[in-house]
Amino acid sequence: MSEPPANTVCAICGAELRCGAIGNGTQPDATCWCMTEANLPASARHPGQGCRCQRCLREAIAQARAASESNEH
């Protein structure tokens, strides 16, 4: 079975990706790959920013966690 086609681009780097929430434009996919990732902390979210590719999402999560941990010490 082949990968579903890309339906958007990463808001950070511009890489093509498949957003499960967008799906085929009329029906969302059953799930999205990002739901298996750790949640992006609210402090790292920017309204209207859009989807991120796996690499950019993981980098944002790591940066937000590092910032949070440094604020705790």
**Residue-range domain boundaries for the chain:** 8-72
Torsion sign across C-alpha atoms 60, 56, 11, 51 = negative
The per-residue pLDDT for range 5-59, each reduced to its tens digit, is 899 999 999 999 998 888 888 898 888 888 888 777 776 666 677 888 999 989 9
Residue 33 is predicted with a pLDDT of 83
Q: Report the distance separating Cα 53 and Cα 17, nearest Å.
A: 6
Contact 17, 58 (CB under 8 A): no
Three-state DSSP at 35 gives helix
What pLDDT does 39 receive? 74
Entry field: residues in the chain: 73
What is the value of pTM for the model shown?
0.75
